[in-house]
Amino acid sequence: MASRDEIQEALEIVAYAVEVHGEAYAPLLERLERDLRAATEISPARAKARQILSSAHTRSGGFKTMRSRIAALCASDGPCP
C-alpha cells in the first residue's frame, strides 16, 4: 500500500489532470480520495494500543522500560511478542 504522502502527491497530479483534461479522470480522483482516507484512519485496535502505550509510557518510565519487559518475556519459555 502506498504511503499517505504518495497518495497525496498522486491526488494532486490527478486533480490537475481533471482540471486540464476534464471528467475522464474523475473516477481516479475519487479512488485516490478513498485511499487517502483509508491511509489516514486509525483502526480501533491501533487506537486502543496507542491509548495503552500512552498510559504505560507515563506510568512506567517510558518505552525503554517496555522494551526490557518484552525482552524478559522473550527470554522466558513463553511466546515472544
Task: Find the helix or strand (DSSP H, E) in which 23 lies.
Answer: none
CB atoms within 10 A of CB 14: 19
Q: Is the pLDDT of residue 11 over 60?
A: yes
pLDDT band at residue 71 under the 50/70/90 scheme: low
Q: So where are the chain's domains?
A: 4-40, 44-75
Q: Tell if the pTM clears 0.75, that is, is over it.
A: no
Q: Quote the mean pLDDT of the chain.
A: 81
pLDDT at 5: 92
CB atoms within 10 A of CB 56: 15
pLDDT at 73: 62
